Amino acid sequence: MNKLTVVIPKGRIYKNVVHLLNEAGIRIDVDERMYRPIVNNPEIEIKIMKPQNIPKLLELGSHDIGFTGLDWIVESGASVHELMDLRFDPVKLVAAIPEKLDEEVLLRRRIIVASEYENIPREFLDKRGFNYVFLRTYGATEVFPPDDADMIIDNTSTGRTLTEHQLKIVANIMDSSTRFVANKHSLADPWKHEKISQLVMLFQSILDARERVMLEMNIPSDRMEEIVQGLPCMRSPTVAPLHGSQGYAVKIAIKKQQAIDIIPQLKKMGATDILEYEIRKVVV
């Protein structure tokens, strides 16, 4: 039997990746000690690895597809094919120093820089002209200054942890988010290419659906044209006559934020029995 091998990340982005797979119909049974979870699809085999290792493992052909942050793709220099930016777990890779220090002062002396990354920091520091000693960390990078480092280069989502450790950002190096990536040779295999394309379509439909809701309402016949003409929707609204010629039932898919404003307007214009509900997938 043909198999599609998938590697998913431990840690921060694990939950969102598994949730996406579940919504796509790929159910996995796993506990914290398992690295090869049970999958409900016999054509798919999943392994759980650290996100730092995933890009290079994909390049080497150990797996067909996987999920990891753009930061680790850039850091590893791995040659992989990016299928999608899934847009969740966004972070910024930043350079930060103690609040009481000045960056210009650091440029005039030798400094210690701590980071879990190495290639990205070295490129940044060399371009800025710093004289530095690099110190590789293995977690909790923010605790190194001021005693053990003058600068850290780390990822942050809100900046809260940096602030709590009296650190200030002096440079935004890059933005990162979770990416769906593939081994280039796997895409050359017709069967694997088809399966991967199906996953891309399903994932995109799920992400699109998360941004939208379905509105359903009844509209009197004499208000039909006025209301329908002002409705935002993906395409044309779905319209069906109500029993007994009492008006029309109308459905539209709209952005979630639009619903906040449009529901009161619809009620004011004469729409009744307005329902809002979630959409699971949107396939255009």
pLDDT in tens, the chain (284 residues): 789 999 999 988 999 999 999 999 999 887 656 788 889 999 999 999 999 999 999 999 999 999 999 999 999 999 999 999 999 999 999 999 999 888 888 888 999 999 999 999 999 999 999 999 999 998 889 999 999 999 999 999 998 999 999 999 999 999 999 999 999 999 999 999 999 999 999 999 999 999 999 999 999 998 888 888 877 766 678 889 998 778 999 998 889 988 898 999 999 989 999 999 999 988 87
Radius of gyration of the chain from its Cα atoms, rounded to whole angstroms = 25
The terminus-to-terminus CA distance of the chain in angstroms comes to 32
Q: Which residue has the tokens 């753009």?
A: 70
Q: Kind of pairing, strands 111-115 and 132-136?
A: parallel
| Residue 39 token pair | 């999958």
User: In the chain, what are the domains?
Assistant: 4-85+179-209 (3.40.190.10), 91-176 (3.40.190.10), 212-278 (3.30.70.120)
Say which residues have a Cβ less than 8 Å from residue 107's Cβ, sequence separation at least 6.
Answer: 128, 129, 130
- Give the pLDDT confidence score for residue 150 in this predicted structure: 95
